Structure 1
Amino acid sequence: MAILKIAKMGHPVLARPADSVADPTAPEIRQLIEDMVDTMIDAPGQGLAAPQVHVPLRVAVFLTPDEGDGQRELVTLVNPRWEPVGQEQDMAWEGCLSVPGMRGLVPRYTRIRYEGTLPDGGRLEREVGGWHARVVQHELDHLDGILYPQRMTDLKDLVFESELRHRAALSPQEQEE
C-alpha cells in the first residue's frame, strides 16, 4: 500500500494529454492501480486519474455512486474512452482532489457510453446516466489534460467549499438572478 502525492491545479502533468498504456496487464500498471485506489480512499475521493498522482498515463479509478441499494463498485480502467449518448446536459457542483477546497458548477452530459481495458486484460463497456456519467466524464477529462474549471460556463460559479452553503440550496437558474 502506498499513498501517492496528488498533483494540484497548475502542475504541468495535469495540463497535458496522458499517454496510452502499451500493456494494461503489466505488473507496474497493477501496482499503480493499487496505489491509486489507496490514495483515492485516503484522500478521500470518489475517483482518481493517473495524472493526478504525477503519472502521465491513461489510467483511472472511481467508485460508482450508490443507486439506493448501499452498493458501490470500484471501477479501474486503462486506456478508457467515452462518448455522449444524446445531447442533454445538466449542471451540478463538482470538486476535485487536484483543486482542493473549491467547488464549481459544471455542465456534463446526462448519458454517456464508456469503455476501457481492465487490469486483467478484459474489456468493460457500459452506458450510464446521472451521477455515474458525471464521475466518468470528470475522471476521463484528467486523461485529456482538462480540469473541471475549464468546463465551467461561468467562473462566478467557482467557490470555496466553505462558502458553497450560500449557493448550493439555489438552483442554477436562481443563482443567475
Structure 2
Amino acid sequence: MITMKDVIQEGHPTLRKVAKEVSLPASKEDQETLQKMMEFLHNSQDPQIAEKYNLRPGVGLAAPQINVSKRMIAVLVTDQNENLYEYALYNPKIVSHSVEMTQLENGEGCLSVDRDVSGLVPRYARITVQGTNLEGEDISVRLRGLPAIVFQHEIDHLNGVMFYDRIEDAKDPLMKPVPELFK
C-alpha cells in the first residue's frame, strides 16, 4: 500500500527528470505499481482510510512522485456533473488541445508539495489524451474542466515539470476559471 511516506517531496531529483516510456505489454512490476497508485487515490479519498493512514487526499498521482521514473499516471476525479474519471495509464500523451485556456480559481496543489503555493496555473480548457490502460488497451479520452487540468498536471510530472513552474502573475482574458471541486 502506498502511503505519504512513499510520496517524494519537491527538491527530490526524480521530480525533475523526464520519465522513461513504459515497455508494453507492461511488466508485472509496472502493472502492480500502477494498480497501487490507483489504490492510493481511492484510499486518500476515503475519509476513514485517509485518517487511519494519514493520507492527503489526491485526485492524481504520477509514478515519478513515488520515485519511479516511468511514464505512468493514475487519475480519480469527478467533474462538475459528478461524472467519475478513473484512469490508470501507461505512456499518456496529450494529442490535441484547445486554444482556450483555463485555471483553478484557487490555484493548484500537489501531493509532492507540502506547502501552499499561490498563483494561477494556466491550462488548456480541453484536451485529448491517448495512452494504454491496465488491461493493455490503447485508449483515447477527451477531457474538459477539472479532469483536463488534473491530466495536464500529472503528465507534467512525467516531463519533470512542477505546477508552480507554470504560474503566471497576470490574468489572461482568455482564461476561464474552473471552480475547485476537490481540495
TM-score tier (shorter):
0.7 to 0.9
Give the conservation status (yes or no) of the 8 Å contact 2:35–2:88.
no
Task: Establish whether residue 59 from structure 1 lines up as the match of residue 60 from structure 2.
Answer: no
- The alpha-carbon deviation at position 98 of structure 1 amounts to 0.7
The residue number in structure 1 matching 2:16 is 15
Tell me, in whole angstroms, the C-alpha distance in 2 between the residues paired with 1:109 and 1:147.
Answer: 16
| Map 1:18-167 → 2, pairs under 5 A | 18-40=19-41, 41-42=43-44, 43=55, 44-69=57-82, 71-92=83-104, 93-103=107-117, 104-154=119-169
Partner of 2:23, secondary structure, is coil
Which string of whole-angstrom CA distances, capped at 9 and with x for unpartnered residues, describes residues 133-177 of structure 1?
A: 1111001000000000001113x99xxxxxxxxxxxxx8xxxxxx
Matched to 1:134, the amino acid is I
Greater Cα shift, 15-24 or 100-109: 100-109
TM-score by length of 2: 0.77
Partner of 1:23, secondary structure, is coil
- The alpha-carbon deviation at position 34 of structure 1 amounts to 2.1
- The alpha-carbon deviation at position 102 of structure 1 amounts to 1.6
Change (3 A) 1:91 1:32: same
Gaps of 5+ in 1: 158-170, 172-177
Tell me, in whole angstroms, the C-alpha distance in 1 between the residues paired with 2:11 and 2:101.
Answer: 28
Matched to 1:61, the amino acid is A
How many pairs align? 156
- The alpha-carbon deviation at position 47 of structure 1 amounts to 0.4
Tell me, in whole angstroms, the C-alpha distance in 2 between the residues paired with 1:34 and 1:100.
Answer: 24
Tell me, in whole angstroms, the C-alpha distance in 2 between the residues paired with 1:126 and 1:91.
Answer: 20
- The alpha-carbon deviation at position 84 of structure 1 amounts to 4.1
Which string of whole-angstrom CA distances, capped at 9 and with x for unpartnered residues, describes residues 80-103 of structure 1?
A: 100442311123211100112324
Give the conservation status (yes or no) of the 8 Å contact 1:49–1:139.
yes
Tell me, in whole angstroms, the C-alpha distance in 2 between the residues paired with 1:113 and 1:66.
Answer: 16
Give the conservation status (yes or no) of the 8 Å contact 1:80–1:114.
yes
Partner of 2:122, secondary structure, is strand
